[in-house]
Amino acid sequence: MTFHTPLRIKHEQKNVSADHFNFGDLFSTLLRRISMISYFHTDTPLQTDFAGLTTRAREVEIADQKLKWFDWTRYSSRQKTEMNLGGLIGSITLNMAGLEEFWPYLWLGQWTHVGKATSMGMGAYSINSTSLPTQP
């Protein structure tokens, strides 16, 4: 996965840094975003095993990570001040084995983005792989 715009996710009220980044925090944030979009913008709220998926996501190990913090600021006309909106950019590599239940959400997330300030384009990512899971 390559994060093209700053990814800003929180764990225990703190921004997740490259040193503390894990798949569980990423996936739970993504699942919450997809659930909220489904709830507010469709007639069918997302029905899935939220607790089970979140628990299993915490067990997924990242095979390789090349993330760094990118500081980004923007001026808020409404608040009449400059806002700091930094986040992580770079890439992570996941071991593909056993991730089948996460793929529909990860795939969709390429269009919904993930994390804070998605309405401003933050949290954009893409999945890069020649060995994506095949459908049975």
The pTM score is: 0.87
Tell me if 133 is assigned to some domain.
Answer: no
Tell me if 136 is assigned to some domain.
Answer: no
Domain count, the chain: 1
Tell me if 85 is assigned to some domain.
Answer: yes
Tell me if 89 is assigned to some domain.
Answer: yes
Tell me if 131 is assigned to some domain.
Answer: no
Tell me if 70 is assigned to some domain.
Answer: yes
For 18-64, what is each residue's pLDDT tens digit?
A: 999 999 999 999 999 999 999 999 999 999 999 999 999 999 999 99
Report the CATH number at residue 14.
3.30.70.1900
Query: Would you call 131 exposed, middle or buried from its count of C-beta atoms within 10 A (0-12, 13-18, 19+)?
Result: exposed
**Where in the sequence is the domain holding 60, given as residue range(s)?**
2-126
Name the phi and psi angles at 86, rounded to 5. -70, 165
For 96-107, what is each residue's pLDDT tens digit?
A: 788 999 999 999
Q: What is the pLDDT of residue 10?
A: 92
Tell me if 132 is assigned to some domain.
Answer: no
Q: What is the pLDDT of residue 76?
A: 83
